[in-house]
Amino acid sequence: QCFTEFNSAMQELGTGAYHVGVEINGIEYAYGAGKTPGKTGVFTCYPKRSPGYQYRTTIDLGMRPLVRRPALLNSNEQQLESLVAVYEQPVDAKVVMKEMAEEYLCTDYDLLRKNCCSFACDACQRLGVPEDEIPSWFSNLAQTGAITQDVAMATVIHPISSVLSNCEDPGRM
């Protein structure tokens, strides 16, 4: 209950800690952690019923033709739009999810960098949703945490470790 209230307050500020899944053709796909090496972290469930999580809201990104755009052509530049249209390929969402299941292993889960939110963003983009149409509020807390961790490592942890490692070596002074 306390976490739910905290998250509700955070949502008012445009952020929060959420579990996120992507519903495709009546199946919800999500990503979670596990301890079995080589096992996927991608799982399916009934929409809005992800085990262990409380449903909050749906973000409807609309009905879309499922097309895969080559990474080189994912650009907002107008001059590439006609070229992109030529190279768009129809795609089966199940094929995309199967590919992602191989890439998103349960032991690779990282609360700040490779989590259910980053999985959902990646899935949406692979299924043709432009990045600027994907709401950032559900993933910006983890992204901010990752940046904070990087800054702390670069400015505090690594320098202190370096100084301490020099102290441990009696031949260095």
pLDDT higher than 80, residue 67: no
Confidence of residue 1 (pLDDT cuts 50, 70, 90): low
42-45 and 89-90 as β-strands: parallel, antiparallel, unpaired?
unpaired
Cα Rg for the chain, rounded, in angstroms? 20
Residues 94-134 have pLDDT tens digits of 889 999 999 999 999 988 889 998 999 899 888 888 888 88
pLDDT at residue number 73: 47
Retrieve residue 32's tokens.
């979670």
Looking at residue 91, its amino acid is V
Cβ neighbors of 124 (< 8 A, separation 6 or more) are 22, 61, 134
In sequence order, which ranges of the chain are alpha helices (DSSP H)? Answer: 2-12, 78-87, 93-103, 116-126, 140-152, 158-168
Q: Which of 12, 11, 30, 10 is nearest to 20 (CA)?
A: 30
Sign of the Cα pseudo-torsion (34, 39, 41, 43, in order): negative
Confidence of residue 139 (pLDDT cuts 50, 70, 90): low
